[in-house]
Amino acid sequence: MGISANTNISSIAAARAVYETRDDMNRAMERLSSGKRINSSADDAAGQTVVSRMKAQISSLNQALRNTNDGLSMLSVYDGAADEIEDILVRIRELATLSQNGTYTAADRANADLEVSSLVSEINRIASKTMFNGTLDVASAGGTKTFQVGFDAGDRATFSFNKLEASALGLNAATVSGTTAEPGSAAVTSADAALSNLNLFRATAGAAINRLEHTVSNLMNVVQRTEEARSRIEDADFATESAALAKSSVLAQAGTAMLAQANQSPSYILALLR
């Protein structure tokens, strides 16, 4: 290549190399300061698309996880009310058994009836006043509830809530509180029927609780694995980026020194003109 004063090719080449090195160094510094490998779509257009979709999935899955835990809380409130009602029914059956014994007088049975009537009223009160989230009457309203437990719109779980009122349980209030007039087995039979129905209702709620607990475990696993995949795409590898920064820093210093040398090369022309 000839020697010219108008165009300094060496300086242009050195300037281009310094520019590229500075660009690499700035990229490494940006990644190290933000902790992300992808800071704009220009860094990795395809990766940014995948990351955006994964972020939406992770966010929705975390909400589904909260939904599922809320469903567990609702079912646990229902089961807690049923557990208390079970204790009451056991006591009612005990009093009904007591009233059948011939050693008790009519007055004794009447006193037992007072407690039975009070207990039946408490069953209905628990059923009507057991709330979740301030408004939902889970024990007396009955019906079904649907929980969104996944990412897709149709990923839902539906459960039935049976009523826990005395009549819904099959407890004949007139029979169990009428042991004075009829100290037979009718009160015991009615209490047994109510206990049998309550056990069925609790088994249904327990199965739903177990199902949702498995749902929670699965959602947590999916969120974790999706976060791992997103991290591999989006997050910066500090070991790699710090090595790239060190390399770029050295090259930038060397390139700057060479650019200074290249800018001095036209002065050699003066030596030819002496």
* Average pLDDT score, the chain: 86
pLDDT band of residue 201 (cuts 50, 70, 90) is very high
Give the pLDDT score at 217: 96
Give the pLDDT score at 109: 82
- pLDDT tens digits for 208-264? 999 999 999 999 999 999 999 999 999 999 999 899 899 988 988 888 888 888 787
Is the pLDDT assigned to residue 205 strictly greater than 70?
yes
Every domain of the chain and the residues it spans: 9-35+236-273, 50-233
Mean pLDDT value of segment 11-32: 88
| DSSP sequence for the chain | ----SS--HHHHHHHHHHHHHHHHHHHHHHHHHHSBS-SSTTT-HHHHHHHHHHHHHHHHHHHHHHHHHHHHHHHHHHHHHHHHHHHHHHHHHHHHHHHT-TTS-HHHHHHHHHHHHHHHHHHHHHHHH-EETTTEETTTS-EEEEEE-SSSTT-EEEEEE---SHHHHT--HHHHT-TTT--SSHHHHHHHHHHHHHHHHHHHHHHHHHHHHHHHHHHHHHHHHHHHHHHHHHB--HHHHHHHHHHHHHHHHHHHHHHHHHHHGGGHHHHHH-
Is the pLDDT assigned to residue 265 strictly greater than 50?
yes
Q: With respect to CATH, is domain 50-233 assigned 3.90.1150.10?
A: no
- pLDDT tens digits for 104-126? 888 888 888 888 889 999 999 99
- pLDDT tens digits for 135-171? 656 666 677 889 999 999 889 999 888 889 998 898 8
Considering the entire predicted model, what is its pTM? 0.79
